[in-house]
Structure 1
Amino acid sequence: MEPDSRFAEFVADRGDALLRYGYVLAGNPHDAADLVQEALVKLRAAWPRLRSKDNPESYARTTMARLHIATWRLRRREHLAWALPEGEHHDALPAGDERDLWQALAGLPRRQRAVVVLRYYEQLTDSEIAAVLGISRGTVRSQVSRALDKLRAALPPPGEPVPDRQLHPHAGRGEAR
């Protein structure tokens, strides 16, 4: 089988799984698609070196996590405008309690979200997460702790409704006082 056909077969077989992983990592379908696309471009460039390896998906997922964090680091340097846009846009979310969890997860800072996804979705150890994100194991533990505290505060016990204000802490800003 030709290397190009192996790569095409990998993309056809695992593309949807990578897109789901990107969605969990980024919190929206547009950024997820961008992460997958960039990771696959990098994987394609590295494909000749990886063809003998058993798990090219691991390379793609690690690349996606690193790209996600790199984007977060770049955005940290941006200067935000005080004026808010005129209209609102909300991506479609799953229904019920799961929707509340997705909203709470999307409300986490990028690094906290990445650490939670890598630990609970990818089931990586602290050492593996630290290696993927280029941070210390202590930072991994503190970010997970902070993220879980925020998620617990945002999500009531099962069966109770979630107030909008808890999930949207900036709701109400800009209103007349």
Structure 2
Amino acid sequence: MTVQSTPRPTDASYVAFVEVAWQRHMRLALLLTGDRWRAEELLQDSLVKMYQRWRKLSQLDDPHAYLHRCLVNNHTSIWRRLRRERLVADVPDRAASGGGVDHDAIALRRALLSLPPRQRAVVVLRHYEDLPEREVAKVLGCSIGTVKSQHARAMEKLRHLVDQPSRTGSR
């Protein structure tokens, strides 16, 4: 049995894909999970799944869309497996430009993390990734009507939680 010492051509295209896309997808994973370590694990698991199918996936018009869907689906699977895991970040990822803590950003992040995973995914894909409803539906594998209703419920809850920070922890 001969061991290959040079990477296959598909390996090189995969490495190039990951190098270009890592930061973009890491931010999406971070917004989905709310935790840097879990986000990295989610992204790595999704990229491993992509690598196993890379010969076919590299032929797609947009393998990034596949990775979006993979991230969301894997996060949902993890969430279901662990049941209703609650993530609340007490420390912001970065300080505000004035050197202080951006309390509005913390409140918004906590509110976002309190949403059910599907609603959180809709909000992140619509507002952070700036995808139209049709693309969000495609990524999540649901109808446009489901995206609209999940978005409406999520925005209502976010407005309530952000407007009334003293109730953030209660229902």
TM-score by length of 1: 0.74
For residues 147 and 125 of structure 1, the distance between their equivalents in structure 2, rounded to whole angstroms, comes to 16
Is the contact made by 1:35 and 1:67 (CA closer than 8 Å) also made in structure 2? yes
**Residue 31 (structure 1) aligns with:** 38
Change in 2 beyond 3 A, CA 1:74/1:134: farther
Q: Which amino acid aligns with 1:140?
A: V
Is 1:41 aligned with 2:48? Answer: yes
Deviation at 1:102, TM superposition (A): 1.1
For residues 90 and 58 of structure 1, the distance between their equivalents in structure 2, rounded to whole angstroms, comes to 28
For residues 64 and 90 of structure 2, the distance between their equivalents in structure 1, rounded to whole angstroms, comes to 27
Point out where structure 2 has 5 or more consecutive residues left out of the alignment.
Answer: 1-7, 95-100
Deviations 1:138-162 (A, max 9, x none): 2221111111011111113xxxxx6
Change in 2 beyond 3 A, CA 1:58/1:137: closer
For residues 91 and 34 of structure 1, the distance between their equivalents in structure 2, rounded to whole angstroms, comes to 21
Is the contact made by 2:66 and 2:139 (CA closer than 8 Å) also made in structure 1? no
For residues 30 and 56 of structure 2, the distance between their equivalents in structure 1, rounded to whole angstroms, comes to 28
**Percent identical residues:** 37
Please show how residues 58-69 of structure 1 align to structure 2 within 5 Å: 58-69=65-76
Q: Which amino acid aligns with 1:92?
A: V
For residues 138 and 52 of structure 1, the distance between their equivalents in structure 2, rounded to whole angstroms, comes to 30
**Residue 9 (structure 2) aligns with:** 2
**Residue 92 (structure 1) aligns with:** 91
Which is worse superposed, 44-53 or 145-154? 44-53
Give the secondary-structure state (helix, strand or coil) at the position aligned to 2:131.
coil
For residues 52 and 136 of structure 1, the distance between their equivalents in structure 2, rounded to whole angstroms, comes to 26
Deviations 1:85-126 (A, max 9, x none): xxxx84532431222211111111111101111111222233
Is 1:132 aligned with 2:131? Answer: no
**Residue 63 (structure 2) aligns with:** 56
**Residue 97 (structure 2) aligns with:** none
For residues 51 and 135 of structure 1, the distance between their equivalents in structure 2, rounded to whole angstroms, comes to 24
Give the secondary-structure state (helix, strand or coil) at the position aligned to 1:155.
helix
Is the contact made by 1:28 and 1:91 (CA closer than 8 Å) also made in structure 2? no
Q: Please give the root-mean-square deviation of Cα atoms over the aligned residues, in Å.
A: 2.5
Is the contact made by 1:100 and 1:155 (CA closer than 8 Å) also made in structure 2? yes
**Residue 21 (structure 1) aligns with:** 28
Point out where structure 1 has 5 or more consecutive residues left out of the alignment.
Answer: 81-88, 157-161, 171-177
TM-score by length of 2: 0.76
Is 1:12 aligned with 2:19? Answer: yes
**Residue 167 (structure 1) aligns with:** 168
**Residue 109 (structure 1) aligns with:** 116
Q: Which amino acid aligns with 1:166?
A: R
User: How many residues matched?
Assistant: 154
